[in-house]
Structure 1
Amino acid sequence: MATAGPLTGRRILVLEDEYIIAVEMESWLSEAGAAVIGPFARADEALAALADGKAAVDAGVLDINLGRGGTAYPVAARMDALGVPYVFATGNNLEADDPSFRGRPRLEKPVSARSLIRMVSELVS
């Protein structure tokens, strides 16, 4: 008999523009029992999912820099408005460059499965 993972029943949005990293995070979260929303490579895709009432989420994992000048900040702002916790998973060693998001939970890339699951579990507990 399989035991439930630490994220069983939780819906986690993933916003990550690097395909390999996105697929890896999706796999780790799924193995921990989460239903993954996404992964999305662009902020507008994630915002559309958040706007869809069927896609209610419990937490998010957001890469700050999404390439071509895109950022996760609009998604983070929407999640703040909805009261949904999130963590920035980023290779950017500096604090978030938008002062509104400084001090938010963050994981430094490369992210390990253990640290991702631990952080997301803390967010939803």
Structure 2
Amino acid sequence: MARILVVDDEPLISAMTEDWLSELGHSVVGPAHNLAAALKLAEMDLDAAIVDLALGKDKSYPLADALIARRIPFALTTGYGPDGIEPKYRAHSTLGKPFEFATFRRVIDELLASGGTREARGGPP
């Protein structure tokens, strides 16, 4: 069971994401609905993260940087398309809103395959 951080300022989307992660057998960390809360939760032991690009007035790039520094794979969710993402972050997985379960599952599987586990990165299992 992977521990996956959920960050989205839309309660319905974060609830759907939580439900889908639970259905896939994963543990949800969060959700965080703003950047400050997300940065705090990003300090926990995580296997991956699903991160909304736009959090109210903030962009989630500081969170992305924190996840990159910790080698935690993540996917950015956005309704803006690839051109709405700063070039530095375009190589990371993205989920275009609205996203479907099959696409979501594929992205989660790819994140977990690419990032290994907390144990492999030196964290607790």
Q: Is the 8 A contact 1:57 1:84 kept in 2?
A: yes
What is the deviation of 1:32?
0.4
Matched letter for residue 26 of structure 1? E
Picking from 35, 44, 64, the partner of 1:76 is 64
Scaled by the length of structure 2, what TM-score is found?
A: 0.84
What is the deviation of 1:46?
1.2
Q: Is 1:13–2:5 an aligned residue pair?
A: yes
Structure 2 equivalent of residue 60 of structure 1: 49
Matched letter for residue 30 of structure 2? G
Runs of 4+ aligned residues of structure 1 deviating over 3 Å after TM superposition are none
In structure 1, distance between residues paired with 2:107 and 2:87: 22
What is the deviation of 1:74?
0.8
In structure 1, distance between residues paired with 2:85 and 2:25: 33
Structure 2 equivalent of residue 3 of structure 1: none
In structure 2, distance between residues paired with 1:88 and 1:115: 13
In structure 2, distance between residues paired with 1:96 and 1:58: 26
Q: Is the 8 A contact 1:59 1:124 kept in 2?
A: yes
- Structure 1 residue runs without a partner (length 5+): 1-8
Q: Deviations over 1:55-77 (max 9, x none)?
A: 2100111110111x211111100
Scaled by the length of structure 1, what TM-score is found?
A: 0.84
How many residues end up aligned between the 2 structures?
Answer: 113
Question: For residues 12-31 of structure 1, what are the structure 2 equivalents within 5 Å?
Answer: 12-31=4-23
In structure 2, distance between residues paired with 1:81 and 1:26: 25
Say if 1:118 and 1:97 are closer, same or farther in 2 by CA, change over 3 A: closer
Question: For residues 1-125 of structure 1, what are the structure 2 equivalents within 5 Å?
Answer: 9-51=1-43, 55-67=44-56, 69-125=57-113
Matched residues, percent identical? 34
Q: Is the 8 A contact 2:54 2:78 kept in 1?
A: yes
- Structure 2 residue runs without a partner (length 5+): 114-125
Root mean square deviation, CA, Å: 1.2
Which structure: greater strand fraction? 2
Matched letter for residue 27 of structure 1? D
